[in-house]
């Protein structure tokens, strides 16, 4: 007996050490279950032998939910309208938003705040603050608001490129004004285009989930189980107007870029390839000798654009950006949408059945590599005149042999509109003073006294004659 007891104690001690080592140094992420299947549930007799099944470890949403709810806000949007007798009326709508900086910046959807006269934000702790609109981007349906508060709880951006199909996610928002509602689902697909944004330069590369999203969730957070921001909930596909199993979010990597632009410039700085494209189809695979149906076919390279300057040709097939494979138009648009004019990218493409690579300096939709200004003084002057201007590109200056600024758009019933000026007009002089940039135009206009006559001199590129337009300052 004296010999047996020490052996028993030694065995128990060894077992405890083994349990301690396993618990502290090995992750218990999967459980392997061995189970004998009855023959009637199998197709083969040998299947009745012991088989192994992988069971996922339990997923805990509590930590993520607690982390996220304090950073998701309720947004009330008031729109003012007037009746025939001069009286005013307010219509209200609501949505959600996500605090992305502790000094009060909040990202939401453009459609939540579009046309709003007043914006009110309610935090999870029920404090309410007025908010001002910093900027919007209809091409991604995003907007940035600001409340004058400090030390607010924020969410960390996740790398949405690394989000995987089948991964658990939580949708947090205020559906039907039910504040701080959390629902769970998985990522069902990535790079979805559901054709809800009407802008010519719209980017639709949504993350699709089956987490329940309803009216009021728009602008809320889609997070992973760590509580990090994967996307901004934006849309649902439904016939009833309520959730039917499909919800869509703008990927966090795109959100981060838009927020950065709106915060720094007040408007989004979009770098473009300046091409017209379409997805590769089976006919193209056969005719162009492509290895698969993955890639984006260039139907037209715009003259003077970024792709044109990099010697891209009609019929080239884009297959990668910065050594990252791109398979479809939504993927390409999302990746390019993260860059600004003047940024350089590496583009992989197939031409005549051969793989090629080139560097491209992106331009904006006007063919410029410069960052577009959106200062408060410029905005005020432009709104007063009812015109949007831009600087001429190097190509335009070389082509037309002149300096000046180009008229991009004209607001209806504005001062400029009443002169019968048309978009495309190049302003070369203001009251006989030569103009080389938008900044010079603004400075010159500010130097002219109110009520004084202003004479604009310039031309249209396709017409040789000079045109003059006059109005009162």
SS (H, E, C) 163-201: CCCCCEEEEEECHHHCCCEEEEEEEEEEEECCCCCCCCC
Count of residues making up the chain: 473
pTM exceeding the 0.75 threshold for the entire prediction: no
Lowest mean pLDDT across 10-14, 28-32, 147-151, 386-390: 28-32
* pLDDT value at residue 8: 63
- What are the C-alpha distances in Å from 360 to residues 339, 377, 395? 12, 33, 16
The active-site residue, picked from 74, 77, 93, 141, is 141
Q: Which residue has the higher pLDDT, 59 or 134?
A: 134
Q: Is 111 a catalytic residue?
A: yes
Tokens of 138: 């209809």
CATH 2.30.42.10 fits 376-472, yes or no: yes
The torsion angles phi and psi of 389, rounded to 5 degrees, stand at: -120, 160
Q: Which residue has the higher pLDDT, 368 or 422?
A: 422
Q: Which residue has the higher pLDDT, 328 or 389?
A: 328
Q: What is the mean pLDDT of residues 309-320?
A: 96
Q: Cβ contacts of residue 122 below 8 Å, gap of 6+? A: 73, 74, 75, 76, 128, 179
- Where do we find the tokens 């337009």? 469
* pLDDT value at residue 399: 84
* pLDDT value at residue 464: 73
> Which of the residue ranges 68-77, 300-309, 364-373 has the most confident prediction, judged by mean pLDDT?
68-77
State the pairing for strand pair 275-279/72-82: unpaired
Tokens of 396: 């335009």
Q: Domain-by-domain residue ranges, the chain?
A: 4-56, 60-267, 275-361, 376-472
Tokens of 2: 């004296």
Q: Is 218 a catalytic residue?
A: yes
Top CATH class, 60-267: mainly beta
Query: Does 45 have pLDDT greater than 50?
Result: no
Q: Which residue has the higher pLDDT, 91 or 230?
A: 230
Q: pLDDT tens across 386-440, in order?
A: 888 888 877 788 888 888 999 887 877 788 989 999 988 999 999 999 998 888 8
Q: Let me know how many helices (H) and strands (E) the chain has, helices first.
A: 10, 26
- Interatomic CA distance for residues 109 and 182, integer angstroms: 18
- Interatomic CA distance for residues 177 and 197, integer angstroms: 25
DSSP class of residue 60? -
pLDDT category at 29 given cuts 50, 70, 90 is very low
Q: pLDDT tens across 267-302, in order?
A: 899 999 999 999 999 999 999 999 999 999 999 998
Q: What is the mean pLDDT of residues 373-394?
A: 70
Query: Does 366 have pLDDT greater than 80?
Result: no
Tokens of 111: 């459609």
Q: Is 465 a catalytic residue?
A: no
Q: Which residue has the higher pLDDT, 431 or 13?
A: 431
The active-site residue, picked from 77, 93, 96, 218, is 218
Query: Does 354 have pLDDT greater than 90?
Result: yes
Topology alike, domains 60-267 and 376-472: no
Percent of the chain topping pLDDT 90: 60
In three-state secondary structure terms, 374 is coil
Question: Which is nearest to 209 in space by CA: 166, 179, 173, 260?
Answer: 166
Dihedral of the alpha carbons of 207, 209, 211, 215, in degrees to the nearest 10: 60
Question: Can you state the angle between helices 376-385 and 438-447, rounded to 10 degrees?
Answer: 70
Cα of first residue to Cα of last residue in the chain, in angstroms, is 111
Mean of the per-residue pLDDT values for the chain?
85
- Where do we find the tokens 């907007």? 143
The torsion angles phi and psi of 440, rounded to 5 degrees, stand at: -65, -40
Query: Does 38 have pLDDT greater than 60?
Result: no
* pLDDT value at residue 378: 55
- Interatomic CA distance for residues 196 and 200, integer angstroms: 12
Q: Which residue has the higher pLDDT, 465 or 217?
A: 217
Q: pLDDT tens across 71-119, in order?
A: 999 999 988 765 555 566 777 889 999 999 999 999 999 999 988 889 9
Q: Which residue has the higher pLDDT, 450 or 30?
A: 450
* pLDDT value at residue 37: 39
The active-site residue, picked from 74, 96, 111, 205, is 111
pLDDT category at 30 given cuts 50, 70, 90 is very low
Architecture of domain 275-361: Roll (2.30)
Percent of the chain topping pLDDT 70: 84
| Beta carbons of 105 and 145 less than 8 angstroms apart | yes
- Interatomic CA distance for residues 391 and 40, integer angstroms: 77
* pLDDT value at residue 11: 65
Query: Does 40 have pLDDT greater than 70?
Result: no
């Amino acid at each position: 007996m004296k010999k047996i007891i020490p052996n028993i104690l030694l065995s128990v001690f060894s077992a405890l050490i083994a349990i301690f080592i396993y618990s502290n140094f090995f992750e218990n992420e999967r459980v392997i279950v061995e189970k004998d299947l009855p023959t009637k549930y199998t197709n083969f007799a040998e299947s009745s032998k012991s088989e192994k099944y992988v069971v996922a470890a339990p997923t805990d949403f509590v930590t993520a939910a607690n982390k996220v709810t304090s950073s998701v806000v309720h947004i009330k949007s008031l729109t003012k309208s007037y009746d025939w007798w001069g009286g005013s009326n307010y219509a209200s709508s609501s949505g959600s938003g996500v605090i992305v900086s502790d000094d009060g910046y909040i990202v939401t959807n453009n459609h939540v705040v579009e046309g709003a006269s007043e914006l009110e934000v309610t935090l999870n702790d029920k404090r309410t603050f007025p908010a001002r609109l910093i900027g919007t981007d209809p091409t991604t349906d995003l907007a940035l608001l600001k409340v004058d508060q400090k030390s607010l709880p924020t969410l960390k951006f996740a790398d949405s490129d690394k989000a995987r199909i089948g991964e658990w996610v939580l949708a947090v928002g205020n559906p039907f004004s039910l504040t701080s509602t959390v629902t769970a689902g998985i990522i069902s697909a990535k790079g979805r285009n559901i054709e809800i944004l009407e802008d010519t330069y719209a980017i639709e590369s949504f993350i699709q989930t089956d987490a329940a999203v309803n009216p009021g969730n728009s602008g809320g957070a889609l997070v992973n189980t760590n509580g990090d921001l994967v996307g901004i909930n934006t849309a649902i596909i439904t016939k009833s107007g309520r959730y039917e199993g499909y919800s869509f979010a703008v990927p966090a990597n795109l959100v981060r870029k838009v927020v950065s632009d709106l915060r720094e410039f007040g408007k989004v700085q979009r770098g473009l390839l300046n091409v017209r494209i379409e997805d590769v189809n089976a006919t193209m695979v056969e005719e162009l000798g492509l290895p698969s149906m993955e890639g984006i076919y260039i139907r037209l390279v715009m003259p003077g654009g970024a792709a044109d300057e990099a010697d891209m040709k009609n019929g080239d097939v884009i297959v990668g950006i910065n050594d990252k494979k791109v398979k479809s138009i939504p993927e390409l648009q999302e990746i390019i949408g993260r860059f600004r004019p003047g940024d350089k990218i590496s583009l992989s493409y197939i031409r005549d059945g051969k793989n090629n690579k080139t560097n491209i300096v992106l331009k904006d939709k006007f063919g410029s590599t410069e960052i577009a200004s959106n200062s408060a003084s410029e905005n005020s002057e432009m709104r007063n005149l009812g015109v949007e201007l831009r600087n001429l590109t190097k190509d335009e200056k070389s082509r037309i042999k002149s300096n000046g600024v180009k008229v991009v758009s004209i607001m209806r019933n504005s001062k400029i509109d009443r002169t019968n000026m048309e978009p495309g007009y190049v302003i070369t002089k203001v009251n006989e003073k030569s103009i080389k940039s938008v900044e010079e135009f603004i400075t010159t206009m500010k130097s002219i006294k109110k009520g004084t006559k202003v004479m604009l001199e310039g031309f249209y590129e396709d017409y040789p004659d000079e045109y003059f337009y006059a109005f009162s300052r």
